[in-house]
Amino acid sequence: MIFRKISKKIEYKLLNGNKILIVDGARQVGKTFIIRVVGNSLFKHFIEINLLNDFNSNKEFEKVKTIQDFYLQISSIFGKELGNKDDTLIFLDEIQVYPHLITMLKFLKDDNKYNFICSGSELGITLNKTSSIPMGYIEILKMYPIDFEEFLFANGVGDDVISHMKECFMQNKSLSEPLHIRIMDLFKKYLLIGGLPDAVNNFIKNNNIQYVRDIHNEIYNFYKEDASKYDKENKLKIMKIYDLIPSALCNKKKRIVIKDIEGIKGKSKKNYQNEFDYLIHSGIALNVDAIANPVFPLIQSQDKNLIKLYLSDVGLLSNIYYKNNIRAILDDNISMNLGTLYENVVAMELICHGHKLYYYDNKKNGEIDYLLDDYENSSVIPIEVKSGKDYKVHSALNEYLNSGRYNARKGYVLNNNWQIDIKEKIIYMPIYYAMFF
């Protein structure tokens, strides 16, 4: 079983939290599996109800309007398996299909008869349409694909090695060359495999890229089908934007060209706000918002009209770019698309660690890939991501750090090079250190 760091958070919340936990994330990231593992380890009675299956069959829970109805329905299915508050956990899987049950969580919590946990996909969209959100009674925990640290664990890298790497990162120290080579080899494989649990498990079991790519194709199409089920009126526009992401990332600006969505000039991002919101809130795309005036805190300068989208999983993107051509990545064939894969991984790592994603957009000075709020120094940390040998060429970063207008203390350039190098305010470090930001 692949270790997921979120399992410790779920366990803690179930044992110590005073709210009902909802684990939110894209389909196929492992929500159901990890809740099963944690739930069965903590409770004698683990009751799982797949509400999506119910919705697609008899719709029994659609008719549930009160907690008495709910208990009656539960007991009709699991009567002899139900225990009491101390030993029973009820898992409502895919709760977003029944928004009225989200509202009911307040009353189930107040009644305090059993313990509850939920999972949701497209939850942000559902909550916007829910008439009464039980604020103060629920806590939402975001779940993402397997990050690079978890990928290392899955491939036999132990806690001691990870701890050593983190210590080196904190001290701006390089790894030993043999360890660097090992970690970079796994990083390149992560570009190929990505972090979807089915793909990672299949890779570890079979070491066959064709099997993995079959999974990538299936899930990519599955995400598009989900869009058509969610919003039949706008499904074609959602699917078109999703399909445009890989090609847009190959362009210099890396942004979706709005007129390419329907071939209509004169429209702006706000004309497709619902479609963008679906892709972002469903968890299948990662948004990086533009900042024209990069001062702390960044949210004050967010440009709502400019946005980059990355795929939620780098394996899906590398499949689109390279299919079974693994040597293009493993042999360091530098290309525009490889740099895009690096940027996609960094986006995944940053958002997994709770960062809101921004980039610097300036017509005169150029762009910086990522900006992070530096709360300790009330400043901003710029990050550039480079995959080629010209990683020390970064005019926008230089201008930003040297202008004196932004109180910037330091900036990072993540690259392929083994050794960490510090030049004035710029720290050059290996790409895999993104796992510790």
Radius of gyration of the chain (CA): 23
**What's the confidence (pLDDT) of residue 334?**
53
Question: Which of 362, 422, 350 is closest to 395 using CA atoms?
Answer: 362
286: closest CA among 345, 223, 373? 345
Structure tokens at 319: 């499949």
Q: What is the mean pLDDT of residues 377-399?
A: 92
Name the residue type at position 235. Answer: K
Q: How many helices (H) and strands (E) does the chain have?
A: 18, 13
In this structure, are residues 349 and 147 in contact, taking their beta carbons and an 8 Å threshold?
Answer: yes
Q: Please, which pLDDT band fits residue 336 given cuts at 50, 70 and 90?
A: very low
Average pLDDT of the segment spanning 217-240: 83
Domain with CATH 3.40.50.300 in the chain: 6-142
H or E stretch at 430? strand 426-430
Residue 327's contacts (CB-CB under 8 Å, 6 or more residues apart) are 333
At residue 104 the predicted structure's pLDDT band, cuts being 50, 70 and 90, is: very high
pLDDT given for residue 366 in this prediction: 86
**Homologous superfamily assigned to 6-142:** P-loop containing nucleotide triphosphate hydrolases (3.40.50.300)
pTM: 0.93
C-alpha 195/C-alpha 199 separation (Å) is 7
**In the predicted model, what is the mean pLDDT of the chain?**
91
pLDDT band at 337 (very low <50, low <70, confident <90, very high): low
Instruction: Judge whether residue 43 has pLDDT over 70.
Output: yes
Confidence check: pLDDT of 128 > 90: no
What pLDDT is stored for residue 232 in this prediction? 67
Q: What is the pLDDT of residues 148-194, one digit of tens each?
A: 999 999 999 999 999 999 999 999 999 999 999 999 999 999 999 99
Residue 322 CA to residue 320 CA, distance in Å, equals 6
CA distance 67 to 56: 22
Task: pLDDT band for 116, please (50, 70, 90 cuts).
Answer: very high
Buried b (16+ CB within 10 A) or exposed e, 48-72: bbbbeebeeeeeebeebeeeeebbe
List pLDDT tens digits, range 138-161: 999 999 999 999 999 999 999 999
Which pLDDT tens digit goes with each residue over 302-320?
A: 776 778 999 999 999 999 9
CA–CA separation, 68 and 320 (whole Å): 50
DSSP string, 365-418: TEEEEEEEEETTTTEEEEEEE--STTTT--HHHHHHHHSSSS----EEEEES-S
